[in-house]
Structure 1
Amino acid sequence: MDSFNSALGKNITFVHPPFFIIRGFIGIPNVKYYYVFMFFVFVFSVIGNVLVMLLILMDHNLQTPKYIAVFSLAFTDFFHICALVPKLLDIFLFNHNHISYNDCMAFLFFCYACLSMEALNLMALSYDRLIAIISPLHYPIRVTHKFMSALIAFFWIFVVLVVLIAIGLLTRLSFCDSLVIKSYFCDHGQLHKLACNDTFPNQIIGSLLPVLILWFPLVFILVSYIRISFALAKIATMQERVKAFKTCSAHLSLVAIYFVPILTTFTIGSAIDPNVRIINLSLTSVVPPLLNPVIYVLQTQEIKDSVKRLIKIKRQHVITLKVVK
């Protein structure tokens, strides 16, 4: 903190409270049923994303550039659900709504980093589909293991740096009055609104974050699919168009599940009850990690083929053991 103050060229004493109070779900009728739902979402999300990661690691046929991004998406979902839901249940279900200052910063970091990385993973997958359809002959040259690994690594580094900058700016705030965060986690927007000193830098980063981690990926994905649509329009037969479109169906489903609820909530957020808004926002955080592995298993032929191969190998192994016995 001293080095941060020196960098600002000022000797400032910041008032950091020992804890914050998170009260996002307080006053919502029958909210304990929602916590039960969250628990099952957590369990099935962990199982689904771990299975997807194991399939990719175990099956050499899935170790392609595209599935580097899919693996990163599953890892992000797994990490996000593990960072968010257990702490959320501890806070609200067991009434441990006091969270220490340092724990709050860590909670904010993991939630924002994973939400941001989710959008960037979807952007990487849209680039993969774009090149595969508009330039299939150049796909093996342009989308290599090295390229996709470097892209995903760059996204992770970018996300970590941006979120750390946001947290660094929060640590220069003093909290002199209310310590109540009206959200389901340590929300950046809620935190800087509680401060009693200048929050202008925090407002700037709060405005930049959605542009960098939400709007830019969304615009890139939309432009990619506009170009894909033009490319598909040039394909001679309807059968070829449908076949090409099917390769994008899983990714389009993931994009819709992630972006539509967020955009809807932020578009009409001021017109709905604050409690409803908090429920909606919490669902946008936990539903994608639950549905992403389901969609990839059901809609992606390579994943289904991989599952069939592993089941076949398992059966052959069991038969061999019985013969030996």
Structure 2
Amino acid sequence: MSLSQNFSIVHPEHFFISGLKDSPYSTYFYIFLFIIYFISVIGNSIVLLIIALHRSLHSPMYIAVFNLALADIGESNALIPNMIKLFFSGSQYISYNACLANMFFVSFFITVQTYTLVVLAFDRFIAICLPLRYNAIVNNKFMAIVFSVIWVFNSCMVTMTTSLITRLSFCKSNVIESWYCDYGRLMMMPCNDSSIQKIAAYVIEAFFFVAPPFIIILSYMGIFLALCKITTWEGRFKALKTCVSHLLVVGSFFLPIISNIIASPAANNRFIGGTLALTLPPMLNPIIYVLTTAKIKDLIRKMLDNRSAPIRANVSK
């Protein structure tokens, strides 16, 4: 305990993550989460390796895809293993410091994901609306600077909001009605004033979850106007085709969140919907980019052919 403004700030030794403790199907759900985690890590690792090892993919757009895959792996590792550990260990208690660390890393990687999607939207906007100036505006140095700023700025913002939690006193309850150490849920639990923390939460929500989709929508409005100026349907389709993977990734990221907001308020449904809203996008993103990007598909096909060639040669002997 520490003294501040004539009252003691109570930091509990542990928090209790309630999760799906009352659901009869929770075991199957956590097994499903493990499958999601496995596919997410393997899929994003493959995307990282392909982009890193092939110089033909060392371009601005694929630097952004590389950053997205890195954030996806980070979020999956920050969220799912801890959930599975808490459930299968038979104890859903997490220490105070571990809870803050969990909150920091989950929040950090999710915010990195959101602004990576914004950068990808900007990349497509410049490529379609200003094709002659694309190489002058968007290059590898530009992307390196942008993502350095995103990682540093996001880490500072999330550090600030996490540190504000240490000013809250949890003297009434230590039960977090969520599937991880959720900043929003923790703000509803303290017995002292949390107005500063709530203001910070609103700022973070506006900056990371309201502004990004708004910017992406504006980008695609500009892209749509540029497509209308293309005289041939073939040209429009060719330009729009370059946006397919990004649009699918944006949909996989924001649609589950929106669906969870308007879904049933039942506790178990909210838990399942909220969990899938955070865990499905990192699994779907590498699948989307592999299936919709010709360059990545061709490189994977060549890698498989090169590996199978010695086997075919040995068999023929």
State the SS of the aligned residue for 2:223: helix
State the SS of the aligned residue for 1:20: strand
Which residue matches 1:236? 231
Which residue matches 2:205? 210
Which residue matches 2:9? 14
Which residue matches 1:47? 42
Alignment CA distance shift 1:12-1:56 (3 Å): farther
Which residue matches 2:189? 194
Which residue matches 2:278? 285
> How many angstroms apart in 2 are the aligned matches of 1:157 and 1:263?
28
State the SS of the aligned residue for 1:194: coil
CA shift for structure 1 position 319: 7.3
1:95-115 CA-to-partner distances (Å, cap 9, x unmatched) read 221110000000000111111
Which residue matches 1:308? 301
Does 1:73 pair with 2:68?
Answer: yes
Does 1:145 pair with 2:140?
Answer: yes
Which residue matches 2:290? 297
State the SS of the aligned residue for 2:298: helix
Which residue matches 1:102? 97
1:232-253 CA-to-partner distances (Å, cap 9, x unmatched) read 0110110111111110000000
Task: Report % sequence identity.
Answer: 38
Summarize the alignment of residues 120-135 of structure 1 with structure 2, pairs less than 5 Å apart: 120-135=115-130
1:242-287 CA-to-partner distances (Å, cap 9, x unmatched) read 1111100000000001011112322x25x52122111101001110
2:217 to 206, 209, 222: 222
Which residue matches 1:26? 21
User: Can you give the 5+ residue segments of structure 2 that lack an aligned partner in the other structure?
Assistant: none
Alignment CA distance shift 1:145-1:216 (3 Å): same
> Contact (CA 8 Å) 2:178, 2:185: kept in 1 or not?
yes
Q: In the alignment, residue 60 of structure 1 is paired with which amino acid?
A: R
> How many angstroms apart in 1 are the aligned matches of 2:6 and 2:117?
43
> Contact (CA 8 Å) 2:260, 2:277: kept in 1 or not?
no
CA shift for structure 1 position 11: 7.9
> How many angstroms apart in 1 are the aligned matches of 2:107 and 2:311?
48
Instruction: Please provide the CA RMSD for this pair.
Output: 2.1
Does 1:253 pair with 2:248?
Answer: yes
State the SS of the aligned residue for 2:188: helix
1:59 to 54, 66, 70: 54
The two structures have a TM-score, normalised by structure 2, of: 0.94
1:170 to 165, 170, 173: 165
> How many angstroms apart in 2 are the aligned matches of 1:130 and 1:78?
27
CA shift for structure 1 position 192: 1.6
Number of equivalences:
316
Q: In the alignment, residue 148 of structure 1 is paired with which amino acid?
A: M
CA shift for structure 1 position 199: 0.2
Q: In the alignment, residue 94 of structure 2 is paired with which amino acid?
A: I
Does 1:91 pair with 2:94?
Answer: no
CA shift for structure 1 position 188: 0.5
1:109-158 CA-to-partner distances (Å, cap 9, x unmatched) read 01111111111111110011000000111111100101011111111111
State the SS of the aligned residue for 1:99: strand
The two structures have a TM-score, normalised by structure 1, of: 0.92
